[in-house]
Amino acid sequence: MKRLTPNFIIILIGLSFSSFNGCVFPEMDPPENRAIVRFLNTSDQEININMINHPLSGDGSLISINVAPNMEGGNNNFVYENNAIDSYFSIIQNSDTKIQIIANGNLVKEWTGPIDHYGIAVNSPFNYDSWVFEKIEPTGNNIVGKIIFTITNDDIGN
């Protein structure tokens, strides 16, 4: 034990000198910003949203989201840098994604691409202009925002 103590002191002194000389541990990468994909149901019916062949599933499996009237649903998230909506569309750009609305067990709406800016008059999850970004209080998973697509009574035929 007496023999280890001088070596340990020498190591500590050496480490302290190296920190004064600019030798520091590599800086960690800053955390990635993440956003959640959410659907807001403003209709008066409970709906189920099916995202078919969506890249956010990871393996092409079905993402199914049940959303009550006047509630938001969905918890898939993705990494973005500057613009969350642009990053989201870059993820689905070359996919054969379909998004369906099921109400009362019936398919009432199905959207497919192409992706574009169609203006605010066209409500489609493949329309850049139909999505809104909202910042949220950061969580432990680096989720700092959400992108929201709103589904209305017109979308389900009411």
Domain borders along the chain are 33-156
Residue 86 is classified by DSSP as: H
Rounded (10°) CA dihedral 117, 84, 87, 33: 180
> Phi, psi (5° rounding) for residue 18?
-65, -30
Which has the closest alpha carbon to 74: 41, 35, 39? Answer: 39
Q: What is the pLDDT of residue 115?
A: 96
Kindly report, residue by residue over 77-118, the tens digit of the pLDDT: 999 989 999 999 999 998 899 999 999 999 999 999 999 999
Q: Is the CB of residue 49 less than 8 Å from the CB of residue 103? A: no
pLDDT band at 141 (very low <50, low <70, confident <90, very high): confident
